Amino acid sequence: MDEGGSLMSGFILASTKSAIANGMVTVRIPGAPADVLAQATWQLDGVTSGCQVLLAHQGGRLWAVALVGAKGQKPQGGVDGDAPPLPPEMVGGWGGESTLTPSWSGTWRGGAWRADTQNLVQGDPGGGACTGAAFWPASAWGALRRADLTLTRLAGGGLAPALLTMALLAGQAGDVWPAVLATADGPTLPVGDTAVWDIPDDWLPRLSSSEAGGIGIIGDAAAIIDGARMDLHIGWERTVA
């Protein structure tokens, strides 16, 4: 810990002191004066007391992001001493792929979020001009190396194929329409079609850093995109010093 008592950025090797309950796990950090709670990612499901885990501090929250060794393996060395070295397979970094569903999605029209839909609408399919947005939780995965988005067009707003104008959106969902950080042409979709759209490479660092937390549609061609099926597929990587 630093002099102010907050956890330093980067990775910390700790041992679990409890099983996961309500998404949280109690951990012991070598040299810390007391046990602390960490948010557990899904990879740690089933972890019990006495396992070694890697911790990361991001977005004001402490995350337990990876298991070191087999589940149930007792920590190497004393929890009050120096942390043991990382096993060879963890040195240098690791990564993986994940598919995430939106934590929130909806449509902005007339200065407010519509209360009647979780789909994303662009243009004016009737009732006034709209823009749509979807947001995902702040990343606990480290650096995004690639990402794509599944887009399914629903009926409504005309039958002609519609070009989607994609927007990178700042932060997380709030009471106002978020700042647009960048735009790009998306796919042209007929009604009922699904496309997988590759997110531009220069958007990835801004999503990784949580500067951006959402992607929207802001074009003029009327179209409705299924918010429930707007999967974000990511390839991610973490580096261990």
- Give the chain's domain count: 2
**Which CATH number fits the domain that encloses residue 150?**
2.60.120
Tokens representing 177?
Answer: 């329409």
Q: Helices marked H in the chain — which ranges? A: 204-208
> pLDDT at position 59, please?
54
Residue 133, domain member (yes or no): yes
Q: What are phi and psi of 61, to 5 degrees?
A: -135, 145
Token output for 92: 């240098």
Query: Is the residue at 6 inside a domain?
Result: no
CA 191, 196, 202, 204 torsion-angle sign: positive
* Shared domain check, 66 and 175: no
Question: Which residue segment(s) compose the domain that 37 sits in?
Answer: 11-91
Using one digit for the tens of pLDDT, what is the confidence trace for 174-222? 899 999 999 999 999 999 999 999 999 999 999 988 899 999 999 999 9
- Work out the pLDDT band at 40, boundaries 50, 70, 90: confident
3-state secondary structure of 60: coil
* Same domain assignment for residues 229 and 114: yes
| pLDDT tens-place string over residues 97-141 | 778 888 899 999 999 999 999 999 999 999 999 999 999 866 555
Task: Clarify whether residues 103 and 168 are in a common domain.
Answer: yes
User: Quick check: is 222 in a domain?
Assistant: yes
- Is 184:197 a contact under the CB 8 Å cutoff? no
Q: Which helix (H) or strand (E) holds 204?
A: helix 204-208
Residue 1 lies inside a defined structural domain of this protein: no
Query: Contact at 8 Å (CB) between 163 and 206?
Result: no
Q: Are residues 134 and 219 in the same domain?
A: yes
Same domain, yes or no: 86 and 104 = no
Mean of pLDDT values over 25-45:
76
Eight-class DSSP state of 132: E
Among 49, 61, 60, which Cα is nearest to 21's?
49
Strand 212-217 versus strand 232-238 pairing type: unpaired
> What DSSP designation does 90 have?
G
What phi and psi, each to the nearest 5 degrees, are found at residue 88? -55, -35
Give the rounded distance of the alpha carbon of 140 from its chain centre: 7
- pTM greater than the 0.85 cutoff: no
> What CATH number is given to the structural domain containing 34?
2.40.50.140
